[in-house]
Amino acid sequence: MRRSTFVHATAVAVALTAARPAAAGAQDAAATVRIGYGIGDNFSEPLYANDGGFLQRYGIDAELIVMGSGGALTAALAGGSLDVSISNVASIAQAHAMTTLHDTEQAAAMNWLEKSGVAPNSVNYTETPLPAQLPALKSGHVDATLTSEPWTDAALADDARLLAKPYDFLGRRLQLTMWIANTNWIAANKPVVARLVAAIHDTALWANQNRPATAAILEKYSKMSHDTIAHLTRMAYSERLDPALIQPIIDASARYGFLPQAFPASALFAGPLT
């Protein structure tokens, strides 16, 4: 089976036409920003940005807030308890379309089922926290589960069998998560957003070239062991937005009723900060 490359990219502001901001000087007041993140390499770039010093370099004093899922992060942002967050593309798309939250994983699973000759609606789906999925599988409460690392390795070590990699059926390369902010917050904080975008970009460059350093940060916050993290499939962090890597997830979400209809991925991107 082919292997997908999971790409994560920034989406606070894509059409940034202003000049790239310089790093904050000693005379610049730091801006406090409430930033949401999750545990796992795909939701941990805010940790790398903070512990790597990139947010501080651009005059951003981050209040980091951890939550358990992309849906929870998106909902917290919509509710105003976060200024900026990282989240999965499907939850972001559903928030954009003002519908209830489903996630990228379910859209990928339903797409895989359909392409494998199984009617997606003939399967019952239940939301289970990642740490509880293997016990649910072993107890017979579910017949299969779609999980992520490090829980995948634990399941395979406990005699579970790999059926498929559903994301492979959406595309060889996908952007699964993005940084997001409410449009009103962006409009009211354009200089801060421009600095944040620069910090995220620098973080991506650094994270892609310094896997041991990001692994140490992930170990610090996640409490996963060094050996566990060493065996994870790590994310590639994109240095630019590519709508083509996002569109398959939006299209699948619309196909299975998570969205009223599909829309161009570029509709999620903020406009120029001028």
Least confident of 92-101, 201-210, 238-247: 92-101
Range ranked top by mean pLDDT from 69-73, 129-133, 188-192: 188-192
pLDDT score for 240: 80
Among 87, 82, 74, residue whose Cα is nearest residue 32: 82
Q: What is the CA radius of gyration of the chain?
A: 19
28-44: average pLDDT: 88
- Which pLDDT band holds residue 270 (cuts at 50, 70, 90)? confident
Query: Lowest-confidence range among 75-89, 114-128, 145-159, 246-260?
Result: 145-159
Q: How far apart are CA 38 and CA 88, in angstroms?
A: 11
Which residue is listed with tokens 């859209």? Answer: 107
| Domain boundaries, given as residue ranges, for the chain | 5-268
Average pLDDT value for residue range 163-186:
83
Q: What number of other Cβ atoms are within 10 A of residue 35's Cβ? A: 23
What digits encode the pLDDT tens for the residues 205-217? 999 999 999 999 9
Is the pLDDT score of 1 beyond 70? no
pLDDT at 189 over 80: yes
Best CATH choice for the domain 5-268 from the list 3.30.160.20, 3.40.190.10, 1.10.3720.10, 3.30.1340.30: 3.40.190.10
Examine the pLDDT at 260 and tell me if it is beyond 90: no
Distances (CA, A) of 238 to 36, 100, 207, 243: 19, 28, 10, 12
Distance of CA 260 to the CA centre of its chain: 22
Quote the CA–CA distance of 117 and 25 in Å, as a whole number: 59
Residue 47 reports pLDDT greater than 60: yes
User: 71 with 162: CB under 8 angstroms?
Assistant: no
Q: For 99-123, give one letter per residue: b (16+ CB within 10 A) or e.
A: eebbbbbbbbbbbbbbeeeeebeee
Rounded CA gap, 190 and 273, in Å? Answer: 6
Structure-model confidence comparison of residues 12 and 123, the more confident one: 123
pLDDT tens-digit series, residues 79-100: 899 999 998 887 788 777 665 4
| Percent of the residues in the chain that have a pLDDT greater than 90, as a whole number | 28
- Please state the pTM of the whole predicted model: 0.73
Note the pLDDT of residue 212: 94
Q: State mean pLDDT over 251-272.
A: 86
- Percent residues over pLDDT 70 in the chain: 85
